[in-house]
Amino acid sequence: MASNNNSNIKVHDHFKVVPPSSTKTTSIPLTFFDIFWLRFHPVERVFFYTLPNSQSHPSFFFQTIVPNLKSSLSLTLQHFLPLAGNIVWPSDSSKPIIQFDPNDDGVSLIIAESDSDFNHVVENSPHEASLSRSFIPHLESSDSFASIMSLQITLFPNSGFSIGISTHHAVLDGKSSTMFVKAWAYLCKKAIERDESPTLLSEFEPSFNREVIKDPNGNNVMDLVSTLFPSEKGNDRSLKIFPFEPQLEDSVRATFKLKHEDLDKIKQRVLSTWEIFDTKESKPQTLSSFVITCAYSLVCVAKAIHGAHNDKEKFSFVFSVDCRARLEPTIPNNYLGNCVWAYFIDTQPLDFIKEDGVFLVAKSIYEKIKMINEKGFLEGEINDMFNKIISLSSEGFEFMGVAGSHRFGVYEIDFGWGRPEKVEIVSIDRGVTIGLAESKDSKGGIEVGLALNKPVMDIFSTLFLEGLSYNE
């Protein structure tokens, strides 16, 4: 079943795609990185592709394109075997595991058709937030198991198609899920080019070696998760994903662009203010695009929320850090699993809505990243993270987050019919989260995706665009 009951979606087929010639059950342990996300909502992303009229005609699409996507998916799963399985919790284990059983498991693949206007769906200007949810499959979970991945391919007749992917955050971080999609696209393109036995590029060949990650915290992450998310009905071994429901009522989704020149302009403003405010230490030579994009976008979001709801004035930002290069020894770039940890920045409650908010937030993000790089990412952070969430929640803070990255290269992903027209992180509608991707058509630029209440989005849009047209 598709994940909603929108009338514009017609489901044509529902397959269970399995890797070819898999005969043995495969099991992999979860690391403490994985377990942190055990009951977190799925990461949901959708890739939209334009097709010429002849290829987007239903008969050609269902008879040629779908079989290519389906067969190359099966071949890709041969390299990513655990992704075709589930998270389970054996009775004799203290922790859940990833398990693929060739007799029962496989990846759910829905083939659907939409009568929505493709051009409306992919436009950047605000449109109904619920629309993109039509193109995302549901990820199954229950007390006893949780699916790892599900997929949906949706045709927009005479226009194009989309590939929606839902992944379990306890098995895949953003870098890992992007690597899987890139591998699938590579093998699909090779099949279209009539390459009978393509070899997967080494950069897409995943490593599932869990031995490289050592738990520094005495194996008690499960206790911390239980504290943060107490199980209903006393079932401490439940694998059911918590219902972080999408905030869809009166919400709109939009994409905003920061060109390289925009980022430079904001960066110079922040560095100029740094000299005035902080004389104790020298200002940094430069600031990363990530720091600038997050600071600028989140301050606009916080001011917009405060503008629409005066009682909301306390904000906090939590972001994930890729730890592959920060561990000793470093983790291979092709490690498939979670290797991200979440951090709060050290701002004051009202910093986001102050006049100099962009400077204050940029400085806090920069200093947090600098601290992680210098001291190591786990310095007392595991317990602190959970305690801080509980503490700030009780004080009425509005949490803001970030998903995706401008370094993933999602606009390079070509299945054989060209680069994406649009890529969206749909799951940002489950909280106040900005979705990042590299700009599709501007070198060095960044796209910022948002799903917000309509009055908030109106204010945000004004603040965001006015800030870019500001002249020194």
Q: Which residues are catalytic?
A: 169, 414
Query: DSSP for 162-204?
Result: EEEEEE-TTT--HHHHHHHHHHHHHHHHHHHTT-SSPPPPGGG
CA–CA dist 252, 301 (Å, integer): 14
Q: Name the helix (H) or strand (E) containing 50.
A: strand 43-50
CA–CA dist 312, 305 (Å, integer): 7
With a CB cutoff of 8 Å and minimum separation 6, the contacts of 153 are: 66, 69, 109, 110, 111, 112, 161, 162, 163, 164
Assigned token pair, 262: 């925009």
Burial class of residue 446, CB neighbours in 10 A (0-12, 13-18, 19+): buried
Q: What share of the chain is helix, strand, coil (3-state, %, to 5)?
A: 35, 25, 40
Residue whose structure tokens are 């099991």: 27
Contact in structure between 31 and 337 (CB atoms under 8 Å): yes
**How many CB atoms are located within 10 Å of the residue 380 CB?**
8
Show the DSSP H helices in 200-344 as ranges: 221-228, 260-277, 289-308
Contact in structure between 448 and 436 (CB atoms under 8 Å): yes
CA–CA dist 59, 272 (Å, integer): 59
**How many CB atoms are located within 10 Å of the residue 195 CB?**
11
Among candidates 150, 243, 258, 257, which has minimal Cα distance to 431? 243
Is the bond leading into 329 cis (omega within 30 degrees of zero)? yes
